[in-house]
């Protein structure tokens, strides 16, 4: 099996994992702020302070994984086209 197909497969996997991480991060953030909105003190809900690091980190990691996946797909496609 040529190496460019392996590289393109890894790129596709990174894209799928990145999308999953972004969705997971958005769901975590939504669940967190929905839980806060049920409390009597809603200042934290309205101001989104303090920021919770986990949902943000998941979303940023997802975007990084998507970028790496697209790069791998592009390189694998270039090897396949010119190889």
Q: How do the domains of the chain map onto residue ranges?
A: 3-82
Residues 72 and 14: beta-carbon distance below 8 Å: yes
Report residue 32 CA to chain centroid gap: 18
Looking at per-residue confidence, does 20 or 35 come out higher? 20
The label of the residue with tokens 């702020």 reads 33
φ, ψ (nearest 5 deg) of residue 35: -65, -35
pLDDT at residue 43 tops 70 = no
pLDDT band at 39 (very low <50, low <70, confident <90, very high): low
Looking at per-residue confidence, does 29 or 50 come out higher? 29
Polymer length of the chain: 83
pLDDT at residue 44 tops 80 = no
pLDDT band at 82 (very low <50, low <70, confident <90, very high): confident
What residues have CB less than 8 Å from 58, skipping those under 6 apart?
21, 22, 24, 25, 28
pTM of the model: 0.76
């Amino acid at each position: 099996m040529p190496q460019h197909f392996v590289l393109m497969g890894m790129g596709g996997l990174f894209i799928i994992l990145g999308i999953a991480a972004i969705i997971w991060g958005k769901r975590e953030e939504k669940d967190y702020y929905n839980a806060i909105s049920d409390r009597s003190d809603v200042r934290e809900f309205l101001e989104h302070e303090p920021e919770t690091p986990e949902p943000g980190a998941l979303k940023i990691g997802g975007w990084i994984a998507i970028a790496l996946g697209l790069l791998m797909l592009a390189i694998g496609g270039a090897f396949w086209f010119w190889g």
